[in-house]
Amino acid sequence: MELAEGGVVIDVPESRDGASEGTGEGVFFNPTQELNRDVTVAVLRAYRDREPRAASYLDAMAASGIRGVRAAAEGYDVTCADVDRDAVELARANLERNDQEGTVSHRNVNALLHEEVFDVVDLDPYGTPIPFVDAAFANARNLVCVTATDTAPLCGAHQQSGIRKYGAVPQNTDYHPEMGLRTLLSALVRTAAKYDLAARPICSHVSRHYVRTYLELEGGARAADDVLDELGYVHHCEDCLHRTHEHGLIAAADRPTRCPRCDSKRYLDAGPLWLGPIADPAFVRDVHDAIDDEMGEAKRARKLLSRVAGELDTPTHYDQHRLYEQWSEPAIGMDEFVSRLRAAGHDATRAHYRGTAFKTRASIPEMREAVLGE
């Protein structure tokens, strides 16, 4: 089946009727990841201004080669790798069909990465990226792009699996998409630090089915130590939704075991999580400006990126509906809600994680007073 996406035309396997995740037999293609790919192309465009020396791009899990073809069309020097022989043939044909040069490699990407260094490495695996991240950080020069689709382990819904994969304890809270992102980022920055590299997220976003993040690398033990200082723990009350956080790789021994606000015993600890910024707002604005109308998901991508760029930089968001449920009051519109918080003098923004997500530095009683006047 022929498919046009972002100005290139590629062959992909036939879709199964109603397929939402990947196509049927044969080489993998997921039409629902178009937004992810449009943002990737915009990141590659914006990144060239930030780091003009970044020229080579490894599409590490190429499948049809759609990412590699689109990156080649942007002028990157592309290598497409896959372990699947059919995928490699399809990626080669798709590069040729679009008159793009590129190297196609029938290799396990872990082996390839230990032989060759790339400026940008893009990991887009099935499920968790963990089996590939050591090789990626050890052998990328500038930027590592990572997709993870194992959202249940990451956000704590499948907690044991999350602990095994990510070396952190995630908890299933009402901000689970952000828990997933911060669990992933924690594992990624710790992996980079093993190679004396600081990995800093310059753009990240989460949707129901995946987490996507772009980490810029800086060499040096001191820079890596600085990044590790951004790790820490979130403490969360399952009853009143109060939460706090603390920095450090060791959680404070005297941390409360009951909620300091409502005395509930259902007071959870999660971590070590990434507590630092999930994006560089100025870069995300450049990424936003690099989206063009030829992209099929331009509208959603622009909305997503402006929200990410404007998001208050705090480690957890709130779900407005959950709070109103707690208050036994009918919810009001999100924009009005956020303006009431601001009018009361609190920092507050919407957050990209879902339509009812917002961030603020106000406590829950302060929010209640600001929006309900009680």
Ligand X SMILES: C[S@@+](CC[C@H](N)C(=O)[O-])C[C@H]1O[C@@H](n2cnc3c(N)ncnc32)[C@H](O)[C@@H]1O
Q: Is 203 known to sit in a ligand binding site?
A: no
Q: Is 82 in the site for ligand X (CB under 6 A)?
A: yes
Q: Is 63 in the site for ligand X (CB under 6 A)?
A: yes
35 vs 291 by CB, closer to ligand X:
35
Residue bearing tokens 């063009």: 292
Q: What Å distances lie between residue 250 and 60, 181, 221, 256, 270, CA to CA?
A: 35, 20, 20, 15, 12
Q: Is 261 in the site for Zn ion (CB under 5 A)?
A: yes
Question: Which residue stretch of 27-35, 154-162, 209-217, 257-265 sits at the interface with Zn ion (rule: CB under 5 A)?
Answer: 257-265
Residue 125 binds: one of Zn ion, ligand X, none (C-beta under 5 to 8 A by kind):
ligand X
The CA R_g of the chain, rounded to the nearest whole Å, is 21
* Total of chain residues touching ligand X, rule CB under 6 A: 22
Tokens representing 227? 């990044």
122 vs 230 by CB, closer to ligand X:
122
Q: Are 126 and 210 in contact (CB under 8 A)?
A: no
Q: Rounded to whole angstroms, how far apart are CA atoms 321 and 342?
A: 18
**Among 235, 242, 317, 359, interactor with Zn ion by CB under 5 A:** 242
Tokens representing 97? 């069909």
Q: Is 200 known to sit in a ligand binding site?
A: no
Tokens representing 265? 């015993």
Question: Which residue stretch of 47-55, 123-131, 236-244, 261-269 sits at the interface with ligand X (rule: CB under 6 A)?
Answer: 123-131
How many helices (H) and strands (E) the chain has is answered by: 14, 15
Q: Is 155 known to sit in a ligand binding site?
A: no
- Rounded to 5 degrees, what are φ and ψ at 49? -70, -35
Residue 82 binds: one of Zn ion, ligand X, none (C-beta under 5 to 8 A by kind):
ligand X
Residue bearing tokens 């976003």: 205
Applying CB under 6 A, which residues contact ligand X? 28-30, 33, 37, 61-64, 66-67, 81-84, 87, 108-110, 124-126
Which residues would be at the binding site for Zn ion (CB under 5 A)? Answer: 237, 239-240, 242, 259, 261-262, 264
